[in-house]
Chains A and B, each alone.
Chain A
């Protein structure tokens, strides 16, 4: 540290300042006549002291600025470190959780486990963004104020974060045993069914097929979430409110996503026909 102080001090010495100081010294010398050896030494030492003080001040300021920068960068990395435990998964675990998200377990007597993990949900949301982009593109959706990409990202992340917060809030009101991160994980894996249904039905345009998939695959992933929430809530009214909210939102979202970016193609095909 001391070494740094010295170098920064000397490198920040202004040439103009030195010149002025030398001039001042000269003037002093002129006024007092020829100074003695000791006095000159003292003046030299004083200048040295002033210089080192200035250097220290500049170095101090630089140190402060550097520290601010470093702490900012460090905070970013610290935040990454905070998130790191939620990304601590193996590929097999992710695969199993994806499959489990479609298998409702009828076990309400004691709370079911929810794996708190964000890798799977995040990747599912990004996959859904890609699928939505595909759907928008193939349906010829035109968005006036904004881009398709922004809309797709906004929709998917908005749903994931927004509904998770809402469910968490309702769960808090209904006294359910679930945390925000668990909600995020649960809802995120619940999107797997949506991804599958949307991917198939954006490519194969049959209404009946969509409804069957909507009820089966979308229904299964919703049932899974409902079963988990049921096992963690006490009381009939509370269970009804919480599960009703989740079911309605989750199923209607799939319906919305399918028809919002599908209707245009239908209209056009009707026109062409």
Chain B
């Protein structure tokens, strides 16, 4: 219909020549609803968090963090860690791990133990490097999603650190060292497998090994620090 229509001025016709084959037949009514994306979103969260008790807010956030901890300890194929990332869990884990690694001889200079800042920097710097590496290898994951997963997957190692500290309180001999070695090795494998389970899907399948290697190295360094930790040295 529009194509057969002859327009009087040629210039206009050339300008809109691309549109000439777009035709709308007369019996279809040209009407519809205009939906604004913002409006639908505000309808979704109709409950307001402004007038709820502070306890509810904190409990909700804690529940979310706890839920993610559970996902790390039981790593099925789940996107809960990826879908709504947060950095609270990684912060808690990182700080508690660093505090436990600090040792009781923190003020003496010759302790040689890892300092708080060192552990903190290793964890965050390592996570950033792994994330950048996975992005460079062509991974389809956002920066903070990856940081969140890597941070949450330190949980098994934090547990291993706790066990090690308790064992070191009891006694320091070969038997406890072997137990510590086994615990740390198992938790290291757990951390690596959990983070791989979450992150591997975002990588191109032929390059999975390249993306997993830095993750392996990262958790290996942390678990080695945990294993060699000795508060009395």
Contact = CB atoms under 8 A, between A and B. Distances in A.
A83 B135 CA distance: 10
Contact of B210 (A80, A89, A137): A89
A63 interface: no
B2 interface: no
A147 B132 contact: no
Nearest to A130: B221
A119 B118 contact: no
Given A133-B221, A148-B118, A149-B121, A91 B214 contact: no
A94 interface: yes
Interface string B217-232: 1001100100010000
Nearest to A87: B136
- Which 7 residue pairs are nearest across A and B when measured between Cβ atoms? A87-B136, A91-B209, A147-B118, A149-B118, A130-B221, A87-B137, A142-B112
Interface of A: 80, 83-84, 87-91, 94, 119, 122-123, 126-127, 130, 133-134, 137-138, 140-142, 144, 147-150
A158 B214 CA distance: 20
A249 B39 CA distance: 65
Range for the number of chain B residues in contact with chain A = 20 to 34
A134 B132 CA distance: 25
A147 B109 CA distance: 12
Interface string B37-71: 00000000000000000000000000000000000
Contacts of B14: none
B122 A91 contact: no
Nearest to A86: B136
Interface in B190-205: none
B206 interface: yes
22 contacts: A83-B136, A87-B137, A88-B138, A89-B210, A90-B206, A91-B206, A91-B207, A91-B209, A119-B137, A123-B214, A123-B217, A127-B217, A130-B217, A130-B220, A130-B221, A130-B224, A137-B228, A138-B228, A142-B109, A148-B114, A149-B118, A150-B121
Contacts of B137: 87, 119
B217 A126 contact: yes
Contact of B136 (A80, A90, A150): A80
Given A84-B138, A142-B112, A94 B210 contact: yes
Contacts of B228: 137-138
Interface of B: 109-110, 112, 114-115, 117-118, 121-122, 129, 132-133, 135-138, 206-207, 209-210, 213-214, 217, 220-221, 224, 228
A119 B129 CA distance: 12
A146 B209 CA distance: 34
A127 B221 CA distance: 10
Interface SS of chain A = helix
A123 B122 contact: no
A36 B177 CA distance: 96
Given A91-B210, A147-B115, A149-B121, A80 B220 contact: no
B112 A80 contact: no
A179 to B, nearest CB: 20
Contacts of B136: 80, 83-84, 87, 119
A134 B224 contact: yes
Contacts of A147: 115, 117-118, 121
A85 to B, nearest CB: 10
Contact of A126 (B110, B129, B209): B129
A149 B122 contact: yes
A88 B210 CA distance: 11
A83 B118 CA distance: 29
A219 B224 CA distance: 30
A203 B112 CA distance: 19
A70 to B, nearest CB: 16
A113 B214 CA distance: 27
A147 B115 CA distance: 8
A127 B129 CA distance: 13
A121 B169 CA distance: 42
Contact of B132 (A80, A123, A149): A80
A90 B118 contact: no
Contacts of B224: 130, 134
Contacts of B213: 123
